[in-house]
Amino acid sequence: MAARSLLNIANVLTGLRIVAIPLVVVLFFLPYEWSDVASGLLFAAAGITDGLDGYFARKYGQMTPLGAFLDPVADKLIVAVALVLIVSRDPQWWMTITAAVIIGREIAISALREWMAEIGARRKVAVSSIGKYKTILQIVGLSMLLFREDILFIPIYRLGILLTVLAAVLTLWSMVVYLRSAWPDLTAHSDST
């Protein structure tokens, strides 16, 4: 019964997002004209599963500890891998800083959430609406940066840069919001010191 409850649509979508990570990498490095487009489209599809897995988990009561663990891991891994791929092809200083800001924030906030959960105050750093907007901008922007090809007169790569930089700004803003919320707990003095 427990094994069957783990195999639900929400967990399957999260698993597919994890499986997509090496496929995005392989497509990115294939020496074909269509590989960038395929890499960007696969990343976009994986990004869509990020919203769908949470929706199905809540709608059908399919929330599991495994899903709660794997979902943020999948999100952070696929975003970090995409940023590393993009910087490897376009090592401009502003792209490198953008990637460092996004990856650094994800590591810092993951650590903050883990620590806050340990002291029983996890709800103070729950995902905010700013964080959700940041995720949408990140997924769309990174998809465009991987896709690289213009569509008609729309400069997809340049638009991807703009959206990803905006995502980095929201990344910093959301980090400030989370840190302000957690600050009293971070600066509290222990009775044992």
Domains of the chain in sequence order: 2-183 (1.20.120.1760)
With 0-12 CB in 10 A as exposed, 13-18 as middle and 19+ as buried, what is 173? middle
Q: What is the pLDDT of residue 189?
A: 60
In this prediction, residue 128 carries a pLDDT of 72
First to last CA, the chain: 48
Contact 181, 121 (CB under 8 A): no
- Per residue in 111-124, is it b (16+ CB within 10 Å) or e — as a string? ebbeebeeeeeeeb
pLDDT < 50 positions in the chain: 1-4, 192-193
Nearest Cα neighbor of 138 from 112, 114, 170 is: 170
Amino acid at residue number 66: L
Supply the pLDDT for residue 1.
42
Q: What gap in Å lies between CA 102 and CA 134, rounded to an integer?
A: 10
